[in-house]
Structure 1
Amino acid sequence: MPGTLEVCANSYASALAAQLGGAKRVELCDNLAEGGTTPSYGQIKLAKQQLNIAIWPIIRPRGGDFLYTETEFNLMKEDILIFKSLNCEGIVIGILKEDGSIDLSRCRELIELAKPMQVAFHRAFDMCNDMEKALEDLIEMGIVRVLSSGGAASAFSGMDQLARLVKQANGRITIMPGAGIHAANIQELYARTGATEFHASAKVWVKSKMAYLNTTAKMGSIEDEYQYELTAEEKVRELVTQLENLNP
């Protein structure tokens, strides 16, 4: 198959749906509304026990920017040790400095700590002050894959930049388009960027089965708290089918 699908899974249930739909790998995270944060120990442990799909947890202690305190950095290191003990195939990181460049020192420390797990870089890359320089930094550090929308709101709108990054990478690192990818645009993204791996959440809203609804109290910032997001097996299968139908 000329294209590989990674699913951004927000739970064990989503990771299972990704596997059943034919995805090759999941970036397992929590809190998709904040762009993804570190998943729980329990989610990863259950996924590794029950699933065959490759599990790559995101190492991100909070939403917001990618400039972390020393305490947050120490939390990231502890999470890496936990996920290494669970035999995860890899982890996904991203740390920036105040000026928008990649924090090379901290990233190298996490890469070394993660061994023998491989390390990918998430969309902190899209917030860099110089994407071309950042890409060379990632290659030099041994990062195997970088998730990017080309610095745009979606991968589709960032296609031209993604194509330039794929050309610059020249096989030294995988450029994986992500953000707003679905079955109707993945083939065009493949054709116009030259990318061979793609990242999508393939999610749907699942309505609560609660019979009693208190519509006055609020637990958080989500407008309708009687629903939640979940990866849909059928949406994953649609994406995989689109990739299978590509001309190699």
Structure 2
Amino acid sequence: MTAPAEAARPPLDGWAGLEIAVQDAAGARAAAAGGASRVELCTALRMGGLTPSDGIVEAVLAATGGAAGFVQALVRSRGGGYVYDADEVDTMCREIRHLKAAGAHGVVVGALTAKRTIDLAALEQWIEAADGLPVTFHRALDACADPLGQLARLAGSGVGRVLTSGGAVRSIDGLAVLEAMVRQRPAGVEIMAGGGVRIQDIGALVRAGVDAVHLSARVPFVDAHPSGPGGGAQELDSTSVELVGRARRALEAR
């Protein structure tokens, strides 16, 4: 049996720090060993991430020692856009309740209306289902017509953190909007930069005033075992301890 990873290092001098997107227990161990403050746990990162199973949550908690606040679970029942019908919203409510029961420390959600505004009605249902768990609003915000304007609508919603690239494909290209988000964010809401983050971008993102940085720190590898008909692509991803460590050092050097 593999020993649990060392607990994640504490926040950096009061700064919220480093979040790593991971898909499994091995990825969570690598993130913790490299110095992540927390992980966003999901499956299918190459699709943008989907809801992890209860079993994956339990395995990650066992692998990392269950450090408080470490496991933030993505709630996204399918790939594609962020406009959801009533059945999909209900499905994700059920997923949130299951994730909480499995021990997740927080959930990551996001929904838009057909007019590319935040779907506050869906968000309210998910926050109710979370029943006190911390809630992060993900990069659905970056698909809004006006990300900065929509950020203000999260005031008093129960969302405590926003993951955003400032509306750009890569966070480094959204610096001006990120800086404005930091200045104009609702009270009690952290701004976490994420989206195509490279190690060399971290210093500039920190100087923009964000509270945290989010990246996947993953490297591809080829599954040597045959997948068989219908088995899908054999190129997979794993979380790199070395990349997480470099990101941590970049934060410490800020």
TM-score norm. by structure 2 comes to: 0.88
The answer on 1:180 being equivalent to 2:188 is: no
- Out of 12, 15, 30, the position equivalent to 2:25 is 12
* 1:202 equivalenced with 2:214 (yes/no): no
SS in 1 for 2:95: helix
How many angstroms apart in 1 are the aligned matches of 2:29 and 2:221?
Answer: 16
Q: Aligned partner of 2:18: which letter? A: L
- Distance in structure 2 (CA, Å) of the matches to 1:133 and 1:151: 11
Percent of pairs with identical residues: 33
The Cα RMSD (Å) is: 1.7
Could you tell me how far apart the structure 2 residues matched to 1:118 and 1:65 are? 24
Structure ranking higher on relative contact order (CA contacts 8 Å, 6+ apart): 1
Offset at residue 196 of structure 1 (A): 2.6
Q: Deviations over 1:57-99 (max 9, x none)?
A: 1110011101112221121011111111122211000011111
Deviation at 1:130, TM superposition (A): 2.3
Distance between the aligned counterparts of 1:190 and 1:134, measured in 2? 22
Deviation at 1:140, TM superposition (A): 2.1
Listed as ranges, the matches of 1:90-169 within 5 Å are: 90-169=106-185
> Does residue 245 in structure 1 map to residue 223 in structure 2?
no
Following the alignment from structure 1 to structure 2, what is the Cα–Cα distance between the partners of residues 116 and 158? 31
CA contact (8 A) 1:7 1:25 kept: yes
Instruction: Check whether the contact 1:48–1:86 (CA below 8 A) recurs between aligned residues.
Output: no
Matched positions, count? 238
Unaligned runs of 5+ in 1: none
Q: Aligned to 2:224, what secondary structure does the other structure show? A: coil
TM-score (norm 1): 0.90
Deviations along 1:131-174, one digit per CA (max 9) or x if unpaired, are 23321121220211000011111001111111111111175311
2:89: which partner in 1?
Answer: 73
Choose which of 71, 76, 89 in structure 2 pairs with 1:60: 76
Q: Relative to structure 2, which stretch is displaced further, 4-13 or 43-52?
A: 43-52
Most deviating of 68-77 and 146-155: 68-77
Q: Which residue of 2 aligns with 1:234?
A: 242
